[in-house]
Amino acid sequence: MKTTQVTDGIYRLSANIEDVLFEDIWAIPNGMAMNSYIVKGDKAAIIDGVCDWDGVPETLYEQLDQMDLDVKDIDYVIMNHLEPDHSGWFKSFLKLRADVTVIASEKGVELVKHFYGYDGDVRAVKHGETLDLGDGRVLLFAEIPNVHWPETIATYDTKSKTLLPCDAFGSFGSVHDAMYDDQLTPEQVDFYEQEAERYYANIVGPFSPFVQRAVEKLADIEIKIIAPGHGIVWRQDPGKILNDYIRYASYAKGPAKTDVTVLYASMYGMTEMGVAPVVEGLESEGVKVHLHKIPETDWGDVIGSVWQSSGVVIGVPTYEYKMFPLMGALLEEIGRKKALYRKAFRFGSYGWSGGAQKELDEIMARNKTNWDFLEPVEFRGVPTQVDLDLIRRRGKELAVKVKGWVAQG
Ligand code: FEO
């Protein structure tokens, strides 16, 4: 990976992670970029860093070498956000350099101690405070709590009008030769938009009200460049990722797109018999369907689909007097991600007592999802033709509701 210049006095250092689960849970089939930035005035600051996985901090140091910057010449380590995908490298940095000044929010300072045991010069900054690096370069700090953790701040370079917001405005997806939006083909723009949407749903989604507050807080500053902690740097059209994030945040309470996600689990194929009819009903109204079998589909993909869908169909049978457990666990996670106010429908098979519907109702109530369900279709064993026709009609009915909701905005 090569060091590149974002703009005069700001340099990007980056490392891709691949073939791992991010946060040890989220699949990243297209990898993920960890971005760090050097900002130079008379003094030099490094803003955020990389994780501590094997070889990753070393990638960062190699990129410092490329720009002839020794770790001893770094005056400030600015930790916008303490999650170890950005701060993990600090352990290895301390072996090279024991006496640096660390800057973080008041809450961030607590984690510098608890994560890294560092009791050197650690300075807490508040919203609106500045740091003068000399040579006309003054950094301004903005508190953007819960995007992604409570301690998060964004750093703004007043000279170049560059915003360095860490997780905010980031995406999944490794970054290679094209690192800036002005270098991307239209296909690459689409790729990073899809990666950003899934990243948002998987990582940032539950904090959507805080994303909206952060955008409001930042509205008063002129932003020419957005340089996030993950993904592409936006210097040609920063408004694109800003508006995308406003849109993603709005999906939390919906409506989202005119899409419907169909999730189904089926132990012996009886519940699965309802999938084709419900999809037929949905597609007869022209809505886009995202179809996922559980547990085969990765949770991150499912949550990405649900986030962008205004409607959800759940095909799930009863299992031991409750719901098929892997669907239950997934729906709990969807609830925790706060994909709220969806139009929804459930169908499924049972053998003896049933129980899937009761547990579904409990999960929805516990997570306060406010999903608006059509009347479910349950059948004992194999669905009859009457059941299948009713499922098809429910699919069509759901699609009509979704379209009406999206049209109303
Ligand atoms: Fe990229 Fe919340 O860390």
192 and 139 together in one domain: yes
Q: Give the pair of three-digit tokens for residue 289.
A: 């369907």
CATH for 146: 3.60.15.10
* Strand runs labelled E in 158-215: 162-164
Rounded to the nearest whole angstrom, what is the distance from the C-alpha of residue 312 to the centroid of ligand 1? 28
Last residue of a domain, one of 213, 232, 250: 250
48 CB less than 6 Å from ligand 1?
no
213 and 262 together in one domain: no
69 and 162 together in one domain: yes
Burial 121-132 (b: 16+ CB within 10 A, else e): ebebbeeebebe
Q: Is residue 266 part of a domain?
A: yes
270 and 238 together in one domain: no
Q: Is residue 408 part of a domain?
A: no
Q: Is residue 290 part of a domain?
A: yes
Rounded to the nearest whole angstrom, what is the distance from the C-alpha of residue 85 to the centroid of ligand 1? 6
152 and 101 together in one domain: yes
Which residue's C-alpha comes closest to atom 3 of ligand 1?
83
81 CB less than 6 Å from ligand 1?
yes
Q: Is residue 276 part of a domain?
A: yes
pLDDT score for 32: 97
C-beta atoms surrounding 301 within 10 Å: 17
Last residue of a domain, one of 208, 226, 250: 250
396 and 312 together in one domain: yes
Rounded to the nearest whole angstrom, what is the distance from the C-alpha of residue 258 to the centroid of ligand 1? 30
pLDDT score for 17: 94
113 and 213 together in one domain: yes
CATH for 315: 3.40.50.360
Three-state SS for 31-51 is CEEEEEEEEECCCEEEECCCC
Q: Is residue 365 part of a domain?
A: yes
Q: How far apart are CA 77 and CA 90, in angstroms?
A: 9
pLDDT score for 409: 85
187 and 49 together in one domain: yes
83 CB less than 6 Å from ligand 1?
yes
197 CB less than 6 Å from ligand 1?
no
Read off φ and ψ for residue 213, nearest 5 degrees: -65, -40
148 CB less than 6 Å from ligand 1?
yes
SS3 54: coil
SS3 317: coil
292 and 362 together in one domain: yes
Number of the ligand 1 atom closest to the C-alpha atom of 229 = 1
Q: How many domains does the chain have?
A: 2
86 and 107 together in one domain: yes
User: CA-based angle 116:121:122, to the nearest 5?
Assistant: 60
296 and 314 together in one domain: yes
Place of tokens 């964004």: 154
Q: Is residue 409 part of a domain?
A: no
Last residue of a domain, one of 223, 250, 277: 250
Q: How far apart are CA 66 and CA 62, in angstroms?
A: 6
Q: Is residue 279 part of a domain?
A: yes
Rounded to the nearest whole angstrom, what is the distance from the C-alpha of residue 118 to the centroid of ligand 1? 20
Rounded to the nearest whole angstrom, what is the distance from the C-alpha of residue 86 to the centroid of ligand 1? 7
The DSSP secondary-structure symbol of 173 reads B
pLDDT tens digits for 80-99?
A: 999 999 999 999 999 999 89
pLDDT score for 406: 98
Q: How far apart are CA 236 and CA 259, in angstroms?
A: 30
pLDDT score for 1: 79
Number of the ligand 1 atom closest to the C-alpha atom of 148 = 2
Residues of the chain below pLDDT 50: none
Q: Is residue 201 part of a domain?
A: yes
265 and 223 together in one domain: no
Place of tokens 């592409």: 232
Which residue segment(s) compose the domain that 174 sits in? 4-250
Q: How far apart are CA 162 and CA 156, in angstroms?
A: 6
Place of tokens 């270098």: 183
Residues 6 or more apart whose CB falls under 8 angstroms from that of 276 comprise: none
pLDDT score for 225: 98
